[in-house]
Amino acid sequence: MALFRVTTSGTFNFKNSLPGYIRSISVPVAGTSWTLQINDGPDSSGNTPALYGATPATVATGLGLLAPLYFNHGVQIVTSGATPGELDLDIV
Q: What is the mean pLDDT of the chain?
A: 94
Question: Which pLDDT does position 8 carry in this prediction?
Answer: 96
Question: Which pLDDT does position 54 carry in this prediction?
Answer: 87
The residue among 39, 37, 22, 42 whose CA lies nearest residue 81 is 37
Query: At residue 1, does pLDDT exceed 90?
Result: no
Question: Which pLDDT does position 2 carry in this prediction?
Answer: 82
User: In which band, very low, low, confident or very high, does the pLDDT at 3 lie, cut at 50, 70 and 90?
Assistant: very high
Question: Which pLDDT does position 47 carry in this prediction?
Answer: 93
At 30, which amino acid appears?
A: A
Grouping H, G, I as helix, E, B as strand and the rest as coil, residue 16 is coil
pLDDT tens-digit map of 48-91:
999 998 899 999 998 889 999 999 999 999 999 999 999 999 99
Question: Which pLDDT does position 53 carry in this prediction?
Answer: 86
d(CA 78, CA 86): 13
